[in-house]
Structure 1
Amino acid sequence: MSAWQRYRDLTGIDYPIVQDGMGPQPTTVLAAAVSKAGGLGTVSSPSIVETSESSLRTRFRAAIEYVAEHTDRPFAVNVPVGRVETGELLLVSETCIDEAIAAKRDGGRVGSQLVALTTSAGYPGEFISRIQAAGLIHQAKVGSVRHALKARAAGTDVIIASGYEMGGHTHVNGVHTMVLAPQVIGRLDCPVLVSGGLCDGRGLAAMLAMGAAGIAMGTRFIATVEHEWHQRFKQRVVDTPEWGDAVFQGVYAPCRGLKNPGLSRLPDALARMSPDEFQAWEEGEMRRAMREGDIENGLLPGGQVAAALDDMPTVAELVTRIVTEASSLLGLAGATAPELLAPHGAGVTH
């Protein structure tokens, strides 16, 4: 059984396409659209610096319930993991993990459709067993072979190998996708998704041929009709030229975003603000771009693949295009494309 078939059986999705988490602004409308199209939509954590536990729980649960109300297909949630100096999980991380577990355990429509929790930006360690005990698939997003092995040894169900070219929070010691992916796929016995620099059927075909279970995309999904971020932000992604991205200091780790005048304010903010103040400022500047469309002064998380994008399709059009192209390429290469990409429950022999 192929890695994709194993992942399809785990999640119940139709196509090996996953939407990456993209906080701190919601991705609820987008997640519903991706799941409707046969992929795995993902609800992003609503904040990375929120200090009000009740507010965070309410906002996160509302986003989860929104997706369940707008599609009858499986979906996931993404929670960035951060820790204080003593090693304890940050309030925002623990609260969102707890709320996702509660949503799953409460059952009903939400409980049946919420199938996976993805952790990113750090090691969830002691929370993996709690996530799985609730009936959720645990997916760990990592940027190195050693971290992939560590997560798998702790019991993680699925690894997302994310290359350094990815947008948003990336890695201190960057390894690019085409170096990282084959190593992780070759060393692990669980399904491996690949993220970073992927946007089309060529990327999906390449990863499936490499033995991956599928691909995860963030930046490509920003530039879609349904994504609820501001139109100016989305168009800025499409208009990004080659070499139009940069890596800058982020809350949990370095962050890759699109170049703009707003980046020039980072050195001063880092110099005069405490770590907590900087985290709040950085999230606010990201929200300003995502929500208000201030693409000159806000911060614009985005990956290198933005330079390869030239349109803004609907999510359904994008997923269909990627799957069709990948099937054609794999067929030309002599692979069993129908078996790899047949929808869940379509009568494929396992």
Structure 2
Amino acid sequence: MTAGARGPLANRYTDLVGIRHPVVQEGMGPFSTTHLAAAVSNAGGLGTVSVPGTTGDLHEAAAVLRRSVEECATLTGAPFAVNIPVGHDREGGIAAFARIYLDAVLEARRADAGLAAQLRVLTTSAGFPAGLTERVHDEGMIHQHKVGSTRHALKAARAGVDVVLAAGFEMGGHAPTSGMHTFVLTPNIAEAVDVPVVLTGGVRDGRGLAAALCLGADAVALGTRFAATSDNPDWHPGYRAALVAAGEGDDVVVDGVFGPCRTLRNVESDAMRATVAAGGTVRSATKIESMRRAQIEGDAEHGLVLMGQVASGITDVVSVAEFLPAMIDEAAAVLRARQPLPAAVEV
């Protein structure tokens, strides 16, 4: 059976994006997730290619992103996505880096019909994508947007987005400023909008997927669990080791590039928090370089190790090809076990 065939938990979301299982790999920049994205898509989920940061020579970075998209298409025959944080410019519109990255992605699709058939989904985050949805639809793509509040979900739905990602505050990396957690946020959003909802934040296994479906979500997105897999050779093994070693209370929120950012509590995050507490600021370029030290060099003490609170329950490094189908089987078993019991017979 192909990655795109309907699975046991198929629903309107999987049918929309053409995947087998309602599991999405989160955007996990600012560095490469190309091999990981292909692994997730090959396993029946929706893999996501991440953008290479938001500073430096953006046109050079956009060329890197295009090569990543093209490489991903050679590693999987299944659908995949690209995640682009949109930010804001001084006039309140989409930031320049987002426009440059979007152009690179669309140019890659126009140049290769086969790639265009696979790269079906654009995910946006970190700011409202004003005026972007119509352009995405004109290019034949599905637009899903990440929000941290019901108000923003409604705004995105009114703008025409096809899917809303409900991002809980427990998630790793950039978390919503609202501080809402998934258990409260997801049913609120699911009741408020008619489009499919993807829960992101706090899920690491089939039990979490089953819970998300019961809360009204159509799928889940995983970041930290997929970071602790053997399928992302572009990241340093030391990063994965830090995630597996993390326990409850080992995470902390710092001032990230786009707002609050959840990371491992270490020398680097403590220093950044101290700087901000003293009235200082830390440049975005410095933060991105710190993320690079963790992801690429494996420095888990002097780099920002982005991770969600769910890391406290992750104790091993797994293979996506084995993990994702097992996650689906577990979720299906949990849901079957929770089916209503027949009414008691009176005697």
Question: Is the TM-score greater than 0.5?
Answer: yes
Q: 1:1-350 alignment to 2 at 5 Å?
A: 5-50=11-56, 52-228=57-233, 229-267=235-273, 278-334=283-339
Q: CA deviation at 1:14?
A: 0.5
Q: Quick one: which amino acid aligns to residue 27 of structure 2?
A: G
Farther off after superposition, 20-29 or 326-335: 326-335
Counterpart Cα distance in 2 of 1:96 and 1:269: 31
Who is 2:3 aligned against? none
CA contact (8 A) 1:83 1:89 kept: yes
CA contact (8 A) 2:9 2:332 kept: no
Counterpart Cα distance in 2 of 1:106 and 1:129: 21
Counterpart Cα distance in 1 of 2:226 and 2:50: 13
Counterpart Cα distance in 2 of 1:204 and 1:67: 26
Instruction: Report the secondary structure of 2:11's partner residue.
Output: helix
Counterpart Cα distance in 1 of 2:96 and 2:87: 9
Who is 1:342 aligned against? none
> Deviation above 4 Å: which 4+ runs of structure 1?
267-275
Q: CA deviation at 1:56?
A: 1.9
Farther off after superposition, 264-273 or 36-45: 264-273
Bigger relative contact order, structure 1 or 2, given CA contacts below 8 A and separation 6+? 1
What's the CA shift string for 1:89-121, capped at 9, x where partnerless? 222111112222222233322111001000011
Counterpart Cα distance in 1 of 2:177 and 2:77: 38
Q: CA deviation at 1:273?
A: 11
CA contact (8 A) 1:242 1:307 kept: yes
CA contact (8 A) 1:223 1:237 kept: yes
CA contact (8 A) 1:4 1:208 kept: no
- Pick closer, same or farther for the CA change 1:81–1:187 going to 2, 3 Å: same
Instruction: Report the secondary structure of 2:131's partner residue.
Output: helix
- Pick closer, same or farther for the CA change 1:273–1:179 going to 2, 3 Å: closer
Q: CA deviation at 1:180?
A: 0.1
Instruction: Report the secondary structure of 2:61's partner residue.
Output: helix
Instruction: Report the secondary structure of 1:119's partner residue.
Output: strand
CA contact (8 A) 1:61 1:103 kept: yes
Q: CA deviation at 1:54?
A: 2.4
Q: Give the count of matched residue pairs.
A: 332
Instruction: Report the secondary structure of 1:264's partner residue.
Output: helix
Q: Quick one: which amino acid aligns to residue 151 of structure 1?
A: A
CA contact (8 A) 1:5 1:213 kept: yes
Q: CA deviation at 1:267?
A: 4.4
Counterpart Cα distance in 2 of 1:105 and 1:125: 23
Q: CA deviation at 1:268?
A: 6.2
Counterpart Cα distance in 1 of 2:275 and 2:116: 42
Q: Quick one: which amino acid aligns to residue 115 of structure 1?
A: R
Q: CA deviation at 1:270?
A: 5.1
Instruction: Report the secondary structure of 2:292's partner residue.
Output: helix
Instruction: Report the secondary structure of 2:39's partner residue.
Output: helix
Instruction: Report the secondary structure of 1:15's partner residue.
Output: coil
Instruction: Report the secondary structure of 2:38's partner residue.
Output: helix
Counterpart Cα distance in 2 of 1:265 and 1:33: 36
Q: CA deviation at 1:8?
A: 1.6
Aligned-pair identity (%): 44
How high is the TM-score relative to the length of structure 1? 0.91
Instruction: Report the secondary structure of 2:258's partner residue.
Output: coil
CA contact (8 A) 1:3 1:192 kept: no
Where structure 1 has 5 or more consecutive residues not aligned to the other structure, the ranges are 336-350
